[in-house]
Structure 1
Amino acid sequence: MLMLTGSEIQSYLARLGIPEVQPPSLSYLRELHKAHVEKIPWQTVDIVAGRPAPIDPASSVRLLTTGRSGYCFHLNGAFQALLRSLGYRVSCHRAGVQPLGQEPRINSFHLGLTVTLPDEEEPRWIVDAGLGDMPFEPLPLRSGEYPQGPLRYRVTDSGVAEGGWRLEHDPFASFTGVDVAPEEEKDLSVFVPKHEFYSTSPESPWINLFLVRHRHAEGSNEVRGCIWIRHDSTGVAKTELRTREQWLEVLGDVFGEHLVQYSPLEREELWKRVHGIHEEWKRTRDRTG
């Protein structure tokens, strides 16, 4: 597994806004996790733009330390490399996200992580910076319900993998939960075919869905196409982003997604593509009532 150099660790921590390296501990793990999910969003930007990034950990670390982002394979792939390089005992696991209205599954379309802290009362922790709007802090790998801000999560045994576990999302969230296999994956090769499907196949759910998500202490934010969705203690609010300027401002100011790898012309083209898909969605919605 990849071990980061001192300069790579410093660049990564700078992206997270964390000033110094500390010895492994639960409190430092919490600090790292909260900063990661708040400052580095989950996104399908590069997939929609037809410029998917590879998911080997070295490439993912470069992605994140140069002001960019990605989805679960990039985010958790880079995060596990950082944690391991900081002295944490990290395990990678095959996992599967259960969409609303569908059955639980473990299909390796998600990379799950656990961290073992031998000196803590709760030795194993669920760590996940790659789900977009859950969780904000690590969760103990123990059955129970865990509120974090306005969102509530539940950890249970998996019904689809013996010895595995399940992380259930808030009842009002955009997906139902995640099931995780207990076996540790020594590298990320099992996820490569899944990434190729997600990032290039016409059947991929992300090819035409521009989606950016992150968590914060009070809730979560999401841009889905041209709709900005905020979930906090007051409920859910939605705003249509009608202009390119509005859209870019929310991406940059709310998510820290400044599209640094795209030229002004490429940003304009990306906006036109996303706005066109959004307008077609509105026409379809209007026709179907």
Structure 2
Amino acid sequence: MMTSGEIKTYLKRLGITDIQPPTLSYLFELHKAHVQSIPWQTVDIVAGRPASIDIREAVQLMLTGRSGYCFHLNGAFSELLRSLGYEVSWHRAGVQPLGQEPRINSFHLGLTVRLNHDQQEEQRWIVDVGLGDMPYEPLPLQAGGYEQGPFQYKVAASRVDPNGWRLEHDPFASFVGVDYAQETVDCLEEFVPKHEFYSRSSESPWIQLFLVRQRHATGSNELRGCIWNRREGNHMEKIELRTKGQWLEVLGDVFQEHLVNYSKLERDDLWKRVWELHEEWKRGKVRE
């Protein structure tokens, strides 16, 4: 469990000043603040400096102005929620990329929260701050369609796990959906080799892809290398960031990613690497 000081520091980063008892409205406030304030990112992986997914270390990332991807974000958030009195469960999950089949391969850490809603019967909620651009708010673990800003989501039974569930993303999103296993897991051991693959293997999709994602009430932002993809309502825009100054400004002002763990020289080196990868990508597009 987190100390009272750590809880206050975490909440301060989220822009929340008060500690409240576990309620649905407070859960919504925490979730929305988290996805707006702390981005999903592959920065440390691309830089060759991946962070551990140990829960204590993941929490420290959040307390010191840093970030991570699903294992860090959902791991730290689950610890915050538990420290605030919520009943949180971990689940094995898998993200379905475009053009591929659904899977539950433990390459994603899923969360659910059990909560009594308005003194009525107990309900379970899908909580996920580790997917980058979805969801903005918790979703009830109940089949149906859900609208959050310009995004349309769907909760359905999983075809991979007959007792599990599936969260389908918006039709215009970067991936198709996520499948979750019903069974819960009590430790992160299952996910460690997956993190090792993601963060160190030459076959990892993230090793050479600088990617930062953030969700807000009316849309989302994604920085893919040097391409800033903005979605505001139903309007989508791509902006190429051609200078280090533009790139750092968007990282800090839009994504709240200030690269606090990197010196000026290291930021310069990171920009050079990302720009080189961007130029390589553009040459590939021309050949196509």
TM-score (norm 2): 0.98
User: Shift of the alpha carbon at 1:118?
Assistant: 2.6
Report the 3-state secondary structure (helix = DSSP H, G, I; strand = E; otherwise coil) of the residue aligned with 1:181.
strand
Report the 3-state secondary structure (helix = DSSP H, G, I; strand = E; otherwise coil) of the residue aligned with 1:170.
coil
User: Shift of the alpha carbon at 1:63?
Assistant: 0.5
CA–CA separation in structure 2 for the residues paired with 1:234 and 1:205:
28
Q: Which amino acid aligns with 1:205?
A: P
User: Shift of the alpha carbon at 1:235?
Assistant: 1.8
User: Which string of whole-angstrom CA distances, capped at 9 and with x for unpartnered residues, describes residues 117-146 of structure 1?
Assistant: 034556100000000000000000000000
User: Shift of the alpha carbon at 1:50?
Assistant: 0.1
Answer whether contact 2:20 2:26 (CA < 8 A) is retained: yes
Partner of 1:260: 260
CA–CA separation in structure 2 for the residues paired with 1:98 and 1:275:
28
CA–CA separation in structure 2 for the residues paired with 1:46 and 1:166:
29
Partner of 1:99: 97
CA–CA separation in structure 2 for the residues paired with 1:13 and 1:185:
26
User: Is 1:65 the counterpart of 2:63 in the alignment?
Assistant: yes
Identity of aligned residues (%): 71
User: Which string of whole-angstrom CA distances, capped at 9 and with x for unpartnered residues, describes residues 27-70 of structure 1?
Assistant: 00000000000000000000000000000110000001100000
Partner of 2:25: 27
Partner of 1:218: 218
Report the 3-state secondary structure (helix = DSSP H, G, I; strand = E; otherwise coil) of the residue aligned with 1:184.
strand
User: Shift of the alpha carbon at 1:254?
Assistant: 0.2
Match of 2:73 among 51, 72, 75: 75
Q: Which amino acid aligns with 1:42?
A: W
User: Shift of the alpha carbon at 1:92?
Assistant: 0.3
CA–CA separation in structure 1 for the residues paired with 2:163 and 2:278:
42
Instruction: Figure out how many residues of one structure are paired with residues of the other and give that number.
Output: 286
CA–CA separation in structure 1 for the residues paired with 2:82 and 2:3:
12
Partner of 1:147: 147
Match of 1:50 among 43, 48, 51: 48
Report the 3-state secondary structure (helix = DSSP H, G, I; strand = E; otherwise coil) of the residue aligned with 1:117.
strand
Partner of 1:131: 131
User: Is 1:280 the counterpart of 2:277 in the alignment?
Assistant: no
Report the 3-state secondary structure (helix = DSSP H, G, I; strand = E; otherwise coil) of the residue aligned with 2:28.
helix
Residue correspondence of structure 1 range 75-224 to structure 2 within 5 A = 75-120=73-118, 121=120, 123-224=123-224
Q: Which amino acid aligns with 1:16?
A: L
User: Which string of whole-angstrom CA distances, capped at 9 and with x for unpartnered residues, describes residues 128-178 of structure 1?
Assistant: 000000000000000000000001100000000021000000000000000
CA–CA separation in structure 2 for the residues paired with 1:247 and 1:178:
30
Answer whether contact 2:24 2:117 (CA < 8 A) is retained: no
Question: Which ranges in structure 2 are unaligned for 5 or more consecutive residues?
Answer: none
Structure 1 residue runs of 4 or more that deviate by more than 6 Å after TM superposition: none
User: Shift of the alpha carbon at 1:187?
Assistant: 1.0
Match of 1:37 among 35, 38, 52: 35
Answer whether contact 2:136 2:148 (CA < 8 A) is retained: yes
User: Shift of the alpha carbon at 1:10?
Assistant: 0.7
CA–CA separation in structure 1 for the residues paired with 2:187 and 2:3:
19
Report the 3-state secondary structure (helix = DSSP H, G, I; strand = E; otherwise coil) of the residue aligned with 2:182.
coil
Partner of 1:12: 10
Partner of 2:250: 250
User: Shift of the alpha carbon at 1:225?
Assistant: 0.3
Question: Which ranges in structure 1 are unaligned for 5 or more consecutive residues?
Answer: none
User: Which string of whole-angstrom CA distances, capped at 9 and with x for unpartnered residues, describes residues 237-267 of structure 1?
Assistant: 0000000000000000001100000000000
